Structure 1
Amino acid sequence: MTGLLTDFRRIRELLALSRWRMTISIGWGVLALGSGLGLAALAAWLIARAWQMPPVLDLSIAVVTVRALGISRGLCRYLERLATHDVALRATSTARTTTYRALAGADIWRPRRGTTFGVDEPPTAGSGAGDAARHGDPTQLRRGDLLGRVMGDIDDLGAVVVRAFVPIAVAVILALFAVGLLLPISVPAAAILAASLVVAGVIAPWLSALAAREAELAVRSDRTEFTAAALTVLDHAPELRVAGRLDAALSTATVAGQRAVAAEDRAASRSAWAAAATPLSIGVSVLGSLLIGIVLYGTGPAVTTLGFQTVEPGGISPMALTVMVLLPLSAFEAVAVLPAAAQALTNGRAALRRINRLEQGESESPRMDLVKLPEGNRIAVTGPSGAGKTTLLMAWAGLFDTPRPGVTFFAEDAHIFGTTVLENLRVARGDITSDEAVRALRAVGAGPWLDALPDGVDTELIGGAAAVSGGQRRRILLARALLSPARVLLLDEPTEHLEAEAGTDLLRRLLDESSGLVAPGRIVVVVTHQLPADHRADALVRVAADGHSSVERFIPA
């Protein structure tokens, strides 16, 4: 309970909720559902009273009031939606501004290691491979987590206002009002209504919150572990097969997927019970009121109490019986939305925890220990997938603080534009000529592919990357790197998806300063999983799975 209240306060502070605006939203919500509740009670009284065929003037005020309540219900609902969404949109805008400011000063832009498992250490059941998405490298934090937390998580907090705070406050007020309205007619019926409202308004939301938490854990843990394991198999199936670990990796993915499905089924079961609680509570309340009304109906002398013709001792009139039976049908309208409110609140609290960690600059993993580029003109970087090799290159390029002049990072997933081959190479340098482009493409082994193009380097790659194979794409990106004016080339997996022999030969030439592929005065840093044994690199950086790095230097023969 203490944690829940703390989260309430933190959400209110982060969203900078205006108490006055929230009060207005709650007030319109109470008027909207209160109109419905009053309409149900008054309409029931009017129907029963009309059955007694009194003078028309005795019913005129009730008729006009019923019409007024019918109109005010829709009008107040519209005004409540306007007021509530105004509060929510203002709050999310404020929260984004606050989060952006916190991010600007947070210590999350420095490289940190990841713990995603790869070829050198494939995931095993129970190994924690599902932590990959939660403990990924900063590139994943910046591209995925950061966008998700600033956009999706803050939207979840805004939804708490619309789907949780206001509906919960309105439900509490209307539930008390409904029980109080029924109390003068029959204490037992009011008690049954109160108990049914507790079931629908407390137990059902609790089950719904459990379902939401179960679903969140399934997605965050089991489903994430399945995704990580499946990607490991898809990305490194040949290496895993050679190492004799493919079956184990497939088994890990299968087990993780089964756990995710089982967790989602448990969450769906709790959601089903939560959804069933409200109609069951309505049925119990109406049936209980009806049975009590049958027992009490028509006994004792007629007495008028609070506008209802009741019968003493303990009896009730036809109007009171009708109100007592029909009132619960409208009373549950306020609590029917509480299971969804509980889910929204659970999601909002989870979003709040993620935003808090992000704003405080917390990291789930320690920083890498190698921040300076080793000496040498040809440097190879190796290590298991997810150890932080790409992050290391990005750090050397200054992408986490200030970009370094003359140092360019070439990502393995760099974009191929839907334009000519020549224009795709001019991304690196705008004055590249056709002859330079042809020489660079032939140097990286793309000559046969280039000869097969109808217009050579002027051929349009319609669809961008979809117009070329994975190997052709890598050769284009490598040619782009060779043509760039940068003195230091940081290449991320430049030979991935190439044929084994061709990729090894190209990697060997990249790491050999005398090969002529790259000018001797330039520095080349290559991240690779397939370092040739006879490479000519000046230094080898080994990045361990725990993020620690070591440098091995080579003395030319």
Structure 2
Amino acid sequence: MNRRTADPLRRVLPMLEVRWTRVARAVALGTLALGFSVGLAAAAAWLIARASQMPPVLQLSVAVVAVRAFGTGRGVLRYLERLASHDVALRGMAALRANLYDALARGPVTRVIALRRGDLLARVGADVDAVGDVVVRALIPAGVAACVGLGSVILVGAFLPAAGATLLGCLLLTGVLAPWLASRAAASVERRGAAARAEVTGRALELLEDGQQLRVAGRLDDRLVGLRAADARLTRSTDDGARISGTSAAIDAGAQTLAVLCSLLLGLPAVAAGTLTPVELAVVVLTPLAVFEATSTLPAAAVQLRRSREAARRLVALLPDGTDLSDARPAPVAPGSGTLLELAGVDAGWAGRTVVAGVDLALRPGGVVALAGPSGVGKTTLLLTAAGLLPARSGEVRAGDGGTLFVAEDGHLFGTTVLENLRVARPDVTADDARDALAAVGLDAWITGLPDGLDTLLGPDGADVSGGERRRLLVARALLAPARVLLVDEPAEHLDAATADALVATLAAHARDTGRAVVVASHRLTPLAVADEVLLLGASPGAGDDAGGAAQVVARGPHAALLHDEPGYAWAADQERTGEARVHPG
């Protein structure tokens, strides 16, 4: 493994798309701002010492103007440096988020599928910010400190070379030793802090989203205890970081004091020997007081570098192993075959485990296929593999032109209007298109009853819509999408029997009317009569060395044929009908 691959920060840094000319401009402005501070200290020291000798006023005029210029320019340049450095950081964070989302969208979902939502949120939120901060809080301060420190050593050395050498040694003490110690001490602190922040985010999000369900289940108190424990670990990590900062500040103060004392001790004999004037002695002694402002930020910069590297490590864990993100993408089907999607001997699974083995399927325009089987048998995993979101463990997935869309059971609804949520599928969706799609899924009365119709704002992640309304909104969005193949996971979830059957029938009719193809995964069997073919998945132990215990297609055919030939399928369908008769005895 080469160094670039081994260091997660070096891998993520190009995703910031930093323009180094902007960084150089920020470093130059920062150097000028701190240079003006050093110049202000030197000019003020000369002015005070010279004024004490009561020379003619005209001899002080240049120094007075210089002090005013340095004092005013320092503030202006510091403001311009902040603008330049934050411009670099904010542009980098935006680029990193865009590149990260693009990589996640184009790559397989194996890296994120096992993460809690709160952990994923922490990575694409706080961790991206931490990586972006590496420029403005680590690289730019280091560049400024190097330039200002070197210039200050030259300035002091021009008056007294020995004092310049002493200043250089003290600057190295606070600019190299202190950051090195801070970085070493922060190694475990930042790792623990990043983990604690992710856990706090995850637990807090769980309580916000599922608090009522946890309360009903009697698990709310346990979750609150876990949140408090995670927050305590984060607090301890923050306290440890504060101790590191205090130690670094002590080293900086000690080095600054040492530099001033050494300058004084070296300067007094030089004044006595006549090689240094008393005014020059004041400059040599007082200038270091301003110089150490440049190196005082370096311990924090070293800690930030460690924090950014730890954040980059968590981001790299989301990315594919290499630069090729095409491992999970379906291969093209043979030209002229008329097939929109084809699975040939596909084994589907993730995390090193095969969930469904040996699936063969061919979808043509207007085709409707249903995946049936108990919950947890692997229907969703198979759909993710067919969509190219999971790489097939063996076999081949081939897709035609037009794209494949996976419609997740828990797809996201954005905190914006109903119309804008539907435009996620296609930006040019009109109000009439949206109403037609909503009517097709049985939401015409619902949208009419909303206070602002299509312009009604939905809460974050659809918090103010019911489960059934959410499912139908997601299906309506899929109907508006340009993809030729729709892979719909559990469209009947959270719906009553009649509405669920009507929604599946709508999907089938849409496929046949538009020449698209639809695959519906459902544990409910009654509406599957509209499908051309039903693939019944079931457990089949001993399905192969790698797929032992994986589900297989245990039966396939039209719904009516499975009712006749498969006793288990017929029994499950009969239980559905019996249950509905009990609920609706009329």
TM norm structure 2: 0.58
Residue by residue, what CA displacement relative to the aligned partner does 1:351-403 show, whole Å, maximum 9, x if unpaired?
6667877483499x85786699765523358449xxx9867545434578978
1:463 positional shift: 1.4
1:170 positional shift: 1.6
1:263 positional shift: 1.7
Distance in structure 2 (CA, Å) of the matches to 1:350 and 1:277: 25
Q: Structure 2 vs 1, CA of residues 402 and 289 (structure 1 numbering), >3 Å: closer, same or farther?
A: farther
Where in structure 2 are the equivalents of 1:409-488 lying within 5 Å? 409-411=406-408, 412-415=410-413, 418=417, 440-441=441-442, 450=445, 459-460=453-454, 462-465=456-459, 468-477=464-473, 480=476
- The question of 1:41 aligning with 2:42 is answered yes
Greater RCO structure (CA 8 Å; 6+ sep) = 1
Residue 525 (structure 1) aligns with: 520
Q: Structure 2 vs 1, CA of residues 479 and 276 (structure 1 numbering), >3 Å: closer, same or farther?
A: same
Distance in structure 2 (CA, Å) of the matches to 1:368 and 1:343: 40
Distance in structure 1 (CA, Å) of the matches to 2:134 and 2:248: 23
Q: Structure 2 vs 1, CA of residues 203 and 89 (structure 1 numbering), >3 Å: closer, same or farther?
A: same
Q: Structure 2 vs 1, CA of residues 269 and 353 (structure 1 numbering), >3 Å: closer, same or farther?
A: same
Distance in structure 1 (CA, Å) of the matches to 2:29 and 2:46: 25
Tell whether the 8 Å contact from 1:377 to 1:524 is kept in structure 2 after alignment.
yes
Distance in structure 1 (CA, Å) of the matches to 2:467 and 2:525: 22
Q: Structure 2 vs 1, CA of residues 538 and 98 (structure 1 numbering), >3 Å: closer, same or farther?
A: closer
Name the amino acid aligned to 1:418.
T
Where in structure 2 are the equivalents of 1:117-266 lying within 5 Å? 155-156=132-133, 158-159=135-136, 163-174=140-151, 176-177=153-154, 180=157, 183=160, 191=166, 196-206=170-180, 209=183, 216-229=190-203, 231=205, 252-266=226-240
Tell whether the 8 Å contact from 1:88 to 1:162 is kept in structure 2 after alignment.
no
Residue 304 (structure 1) aligns with: 274
Distance in structure 2 (CA, Å) of the matches to 1:435 and 1:260: 50
Distance in structure 2 (CA, Å) of the matches to 1:300 and 1:467: 77
1:169 positional shift: 1.8
**Matched residue SS, 2:110:** coil
Residue by residue, what CA displacement relative to the aligned partner does 1:321-367 show, whole Å, maximum 9, x if unpaired?
5345422322223223323433443355456667877483499x857
Distance in structure 1 (CA, Å) of the matches to 2:230 and 2:23: 44
1:432 positional shift: 7.2
Distance in structure 1 (CA, Å) of the matches to 2:270 and 2:130: 61
Residue 116 (structure 1) aligns with: 114
Q: Among 487, 490, 511, which residue is 2:487 paired with?
A: 490
**Matched residue SS, 2:467:** helix
Tell whether the 8 Å contact from 2:183 to 2:299 is kept in structure 1 after alignment.
yes
Residue by residue, what CA displacement relative to the aligned partner does 1:438-467 show, whole Å, maximum 9, x if unpaired?
6742xxxx79xx48x875899556213569
Residue by residue, what CA displacement relative to the aligned partner does 1:120-161 show, whole Å, maximum 9, x if unpaired?
xxxxxxxxx8xx877x6xxx8xxx967999x75774454368
Distance in structure 2 (CA, Å) of the matches to 1:300 and 1:406: 82
Distance in structure 1 (CA, Å) of the matches to 2:402 and 2:298: 57
Tell whether the 8 Å contact from 1:212 to 1:346 is kept in structure 2 after alignment.
yes
Q: Structure 2 vs 1, CA of residues 541 and 164 (structure 1 numbering), >3 Å: closer, same or farther?
A: farther
Tell whether the 8 Å contact from 1:422 to 1:458 is kept in structure 2 after alignment.
no
- The question of 1:539 aligning with 2:539 is answered no
Alignment length (residue pairs): 490
Residue 298 (structure 2) aligns with: 338
Distance in structure 2 (CA, Å) of the matches to 1:481 and 1:75: 57
Q: Structure 2 vs 1, CA of residues 355 and 111 (structure 1 numbering), >3 Å: closer, same or farther?
A: closer
Q: Structure 2 vs 1, CA of residues 26 and 476 (structure 1 numbering), >3 Å: closer, same or farther?
A: closer
- Runs of 5+ in structure 1 lacking a partner? 118-128, 310-316
**Matched residue SS, 1:491:** strand
Residue by residue, what CA displacement relative to the aligned partner does 1:491-545 show, whole Å, maximum 9, x if unpaired?
346466x4xxx66x5798599x9x9996698754337xxx579998743478xxx
Residue by residue, what CA displacement relative to the aligned partner does 1:399-427 show, whole Å, maximum 9, x if unpaired?
78978658543343344763589999998
1:166 positional shift: 1.8
Name the amino acid aligned to 2:370.
N
Q: Structure 2 vs 1, CA of residues 228 and 12 (structure 1 numbering), >3 Å: closer, same or farther?
A: closer
Q: Structure 2 vs 1, CA of residues 147 and 553 (structure 1 numbering), >3 Å: closer, same or farther?
A: farther
Distance in structure 2 (CA, Å) of the matches to 1:336 and 1:302: 33
Residue 51 (structure 2) aligns with: 50
Name the amino acid aligned to 2:240.
R
Distance in structure 1 (CA, Å) of the matches to 2:508 and 2:232: 50
Q: Structure 2 vs 1, CA of residues 177 and 110 (structure 1 numbering), >3 Å: closer, same or farther?
A: same
1:31 positional shift: 5.8
Residue 396 (structure 1) aligns with: 386
Tell whether the 8 Å contact from 1:368 to 1:547 is kept in structure 2 after alignment.
yes
Distance in structure 2 (CA, Å) of the matches to 1:300 and 1:232: 70
Bigger shift: residues 325-334 or 77-86: 77-86
Q: Structure 2 vs 1, CA of residues 389 and 250 (structure 1 numbering), >3 Å: closer, same or farther?
A: farther
Tell whether the 8 Å contact from 2:22 to 2:88 is kept in structure 1 after alignment.
no
Q: Among 374, 377, 380, which residue is 2:370 paired with?
A: 377
Distance in structure 2 (CA, Å) of the matches to 1:18 and 1:146: 22
Tell whether the 8 Å contact from 1:28 to 1:76 is kept in structure 2 after alignment.
no
Tell whether the 8 Å contact from 2:30 to 2:81 is kept in structure 1 after alignment.
no
**Matched residue SS, 2:552:** strand
Tell whether the 8 Å contact from 2:353 to 2:547 is kept in structure 1 after alignment.
yes
Tell whether the 8 Å contact from 1:219 to 1:260 is kept in structure 2 after alignment.
yes
Distance in structure 1 (CA, Å) of the matches to 2:464 and 2:93: 43
**Matched residue SS, 1:377:** strand
Tell whether the 8 Å contact from 1:206 to 1:339 is kept in structure 2 after alignment.
yes
- The question of 1:269 aligning with 2:243 is answered yes
Tell whether the 8 Å contact from 1:419 to 1:460 is kept in structure 2 after alignment.
yes
Residue by residue, what CA displacement relative to the aligned partner does 1:184-205 show, whole Å, maximum 9, x if unpaired?
5x76x974x5665445433443
Residue by residue, what CA displacement relative to the aligned partner does 1:180-228 show, whole Å, maximum 9, x if unpaired?
36755x76x974x566544543344346546765664245322223434
Distance in structure 1 (CA, Å) of the matches to 2:255 and 2:357: 63
Name the amino acid aligned to 2:472.
I
Distance in structure 2 (CA, Å) of the matches to 1:283 and 1:331: 12
1:260 positional shift: 2.5
Name the amino acid aligned to 1:64.
V
Bigger shift: residues 168-177 or 94-103: 94-103
Name the amino acid aligned to 1:526.
A
Q: Structure 2 vs 1, CA of residues 337 and 67 (structure 1 numbering), >3 Å: closer, same or farther?
A: farther
Q: Structure 2 vs 1, CA of residues 433 and 97 (structure 1 numbering), >3 Å: closer, same or farther?
A: closer
Name the amino acid aligned to 2:293.
E
